Amino acid sequence: MYLWKCWRDTRSFAVVFMVMAAAVMPVTAAIGVGTTLLEKGFAKGIFISTLVFMLFVVALGLGAIGAIQEFTDKTAHFLFTKPRPRFYFVWIGWVVGCTEILAIALVNVLVGGITLAHYGKIPFGSVVFDLIKKQDVAPILIDALFIYSLTYSLTAVLRNGLKGLGASMGSLAILQALAVAIRMRWNVNVPLPPQPIGSLSQAISNLVWMLVALLLVFSAQLVVERVEI
């Protein structure tokens, strides 16, 4: 089953980061016992910062590894001669990576929430509800899925993991530089994932950015469908 193959190819990477996601907050809290690290607000800041960094690395890694397993010259020649449409291979690989990212985020949020609840002497439900209410986690997930989709798409198109990873990081850097330059030159704020778009709410903006991520994968699908074997 192709779904299982995609999981098998990326599971080592995903499991390593899942373990890290489960360990980072308990270890930080254990080190911080008796210090100011667990003061109200500071521990939550550590939690959010580690989630952002971890999902950024995971998104880049899974985007490059997941696509390169399927779209290198030899593997592509084997897959594309199968009686399956090419878009099937593109989207199944992408879905597996998305699921792994969401699983890693879920582990981090649950273990982090339990840790914050334990050391902060507050109910676990209150911690999770506070994160959801203030939309601390959703924009981070959208940003990770956007970066993953960009990296996955470029890797699939270029059919090379390092080239796809480099192109993705370069594209992200260029987008940031352009946004800064436009803001400094014309005082216009150009939204980048996961920032709110204009007067739209954060929830609607998240949906728009998710659609943009899907369009990136769809664009990669169009290229893959037309590539010569």
196-217: per-residue pLDDT in tens? 998 899 889 999 999 999 999 9
| Number of domains making up the chain | 1
Given a contact cutoff of 8 angstroms between Cβ atoms, the answer to whether 48 and 131 are in contact is no
Query: What's the confidence (pLDDT) of residue 81?
Result: 59
Segment 34-41 mean pLDDT: 58
Among 89, 48, 84, 51, which residue's Cα sits nearest to residue 67? 89
> At 68, is the pLDDT very low, low, confident or very high (cuts 50, 70, 90)?
low
Average pLDDT over residues 171-192: 94
Mean pLDDT of the chain: 84
Rounded (10°) angle between helices 42-71 and 2-32: 160
Q: Mean pLDDT lowest for which of 5-19, 29-43, 94-108, 136-150?
A: 29-43
Do 197 and 191 contact (CB within 8 A), yes or no?
Answer: yes
| Cβ–Cβ under 8 Å, residues 218 and 210 | no
The top-scoring range by mean pLDDT among 9-23, 119-133, 215-229 is 9-23
> Which structural domain, as residue segments, surrounds residue 190?
2-226
pTM for the model stands at: 0.90
